[in-house]
Amino acid sequence: MSGAPKRVKEGVRTVLERLVRASAFERILISAAALVLAVLVGTVLVLVSGRMTTCSTAAATYFGVGFCYDPVTVFDRLFFGALGDPMNPLFRPLEGEFAPPFRAGWSPFNTAMGVTLRETTVLVFTGLSVALAFRAGVFNIGTQGQLIAGGLASALGLLSLAPVVPGGLVGSLVLVPAGLFIGALVGGLYGAVPGVLKAYADANEVITTIMLNFVAAQIALYLVSNYFKRPNSQVVETVPLPDAATIPPVVFDPRTNVSLIALAVALGFAGAIYYLLGHTALGYDLRTSGLQPAGAEYGGVATKRTIVASLTLSGALGGLGGAMYVMMILGNFQIGVPAYGFDGITVAILAGNNPLGVVFAAPLFGIIKSGSIVIDTTTSVPPQLVDVLRGLIVLFVAMPEFFRQIGHRVLPEESQTPGGDGDA
């Protein structure tokens, strides 16, 4: 009864309670501290693995010991490389050198920055998808599948529409919105499936959405390799979309496959979802269902329809992400879609399931993705080690927020009415 286990339990409680009460500012500080901690732990890992590798020349020498990988370079590439090296090496404020902080010749529209923003765009959609479902109390692990379904549908739809639509600007004005609409529609329908299963057949959405991820990937593989495969291609992919059906870049080099228009649309959706949740009756229903299903039922919320609605909307956001991926990044549909849907879960957790928070959480993941490409191309650090560093950052940064959400669910029942003479 007493002794160590009790003290551990008390300790866990105290920490959870503190996390639950943390203000928005404190939460940002905690996330920042977690990032620093992840970098420190990563540094040790890089040094240790650098010591265990053999190389002809040491990349760095610390305390008279040579290391094959230099953590300073690794993290410099990861963070600043992803932004296209904005810092002026002569700008050292700690040493009293106040040269212009930005490097001469640095443009925010460089290639590495392009990759960062491109990844950010898709991650905003998947992050919103997961966050919206979470807020309605539904764990949508199926954003990946909804993204694949939406992306595939949008590619196939555009390919069949393109011949009847004129090219050029007029074509773009028709095809781009049409592609996004098809993506959202099919992604939404694909999300509605687990929604209906949960609402009317009591099937756990975590299980069904995970399974439907595989279903979507396999259907895409089957359809593309059997019916829509680009002839003589080495990979399983469709023929390229006509130029009018891709989202045009604005100021970036077209080869970086990034469009500020797409990013603007993504941010617009973040604002729209924020408005939906906070200022509409549907949003009120969703949030009430998410916080307290019995209370929602009492308040006249049609709980079953709300479950279906939340998964449909969530799927539509995933599908939009897929359409963006197809129309902005690939220019066709290819098998082997990166795990944007799963990254969306971490983005949503880090954002505290707040749609506006997603706008800030997604770029962090965009930077890490883009930065690891930079590390791959500029250092001898193996990609596996970079993956470990990425994982560390994700884990460290997301965990405090994750535990805060757990605390939110666990604690109120235990400690909300300390004087509770009632049935507490």
164 makes contact with another protein (CB under 8 A) = no
Least CB distance to another protein at residue 6 (A): 7
Q: How far is the CB of 290 from another protein (least distance, A)?
A: 10
Q: For residues 146 and 312, which CB has a smaller minimum distance to another protein in the complex? A: 312
Which structure tokens are listed for 423?
């049935």
Q: Does 302 bind another protein (CB under 8 A)?
A: yes
Name the one range near another protein by CB under 8 A: 254-262, 295-303, 310-318, 336-344: 295-303
Regarding 405 and contact with another protein (CB under 8 A), the answer is no
Q: Could you count the other beta carbons within 10 Å of the beta carbon of residue 402? A: 15
DSSP β-bridge partners for residue 87: 102
- Of 335, 73, 364, the closest CA to residue 221 belongs to 335
> Minimum distance from CB of 11 to another protein (Å)?
14
For residues 20 and 82, which CB has a smaller minimum distance to another protein in the complex?
20
Is residue 416 a contact point for another protein (CB under 8 A)?
yes
- Residue number with CB closer to another protein (222 or 298): 298
Please pick, from the candidates 9, 21, 51, 92, the single residue that binds another protein as defined by CB under 8 A: 21
Please count the residues of this chain forming the interface with another protein, following the rule CB under 8 A. Answer: 37
For residue 61, list its beta bridge partners: 66
d(CA 365, CA 133): 20
Q: How far is the CB of 45 from another protein (least distance, A)?
A: 37
3-state secondary structure of 66: strand
Instruction: Decide if 179 contacts 244 (C-beta within 8 A).
Output: no
> For residue 105, is it left (φ>0), alpha (ψ between -120 and 50) or beta?
left
CA 174/CA 163 separation, integer angstroms:
12
Radius of gyration of the chain (CA): 24
Per CB under 8 A, 280 contacts another protein: yes
Place of tokens 């540094």: 43
Using rule CB under 8 A, residue 412 touches another protein? yes
Q: Which is nearer to another protein, 51 or 305 (CB)?
A: 305
297: left (phi over 0), alpha (psi -120 to 50) or beta: alpha
- Candidates 282, 335, 388, 392; binder of another protein (CB under 8 A) is 282
Angstrom distances, CA of residue 218 to CA of 135, 148, 221, 403: 30, 10, 5, 34
Q: Ramachandran region of residue 85, left (φ > 0), alpha (ψ -120 to 50) or beta? A: left
Q: Which of 64, 105, 231, 418 binds another protein (CB under 8 A)?
A: 418
Q: Is 57 left (phi over 0), alpha (psi -120 to 50) or beta?
A: beta
Quick one: which segment of 74-82, 297-305, 334-342, 350-358 binds another protein (CB under 8 A)? Answer: 297-305
CB of 270 to another protein, least distance (A): 19
Q: 89 or 418, CB closer to another protein?
A: 418
- Asked if 205 touches another protein (CB under 8 A), the answer is no
CB 353 within 8 A of CB 137: no
> Is position 415 an interface residue for another protein (rule: CB under 8 A)?
yes
263 within 8 A of 117, measured Cβ to Cβ: yes
**H-only helix segments in 83-239:** 111-135, 143-161, 168-201, 205-226
Smaller CB separation from another protein, 203 or 302:
302
The pair of three-digit structure tokens given for residue 401, joined into one six-digit string? 């927020």
Of 17 and 376, nearer to another protein (C-beta) is 17
Among 299, 336, 383, 391, contact with another protein (rule: CB under 8 A): 299
Single out the residue of 301, 313, 316, 345 in contact with another protein (rule: CB under 8 A): 301
Stretch touching another protein by CB under 8 A, among 31-39, 227-235, 283-291, 368-376: 283-291
The verdict on 4 binding another protein (CB under 8 A) reads: no
Q: Quick check: 403 binds another protein (CB under 8 A)?
A: no
Question: Which of 22, 291, 335, 392 touches another protein (CB under 8 A)?
Answer: 291
User: Is residue 183 within 8 Å of residue 151, measured between CB atoms?
Assistant: yes
Between CA 82 and CA 100 the distance in angstroms is: 20
Q: Interface with another protein includes 231 (CB under 8 A)?
A: no
Tokens for 304? 């079953």
Residues that bind another protein (CB under 8 A): 1-3, 6, 17, 21, 279-285, 288, 291-292, 294-302, 408, 412, 415-424
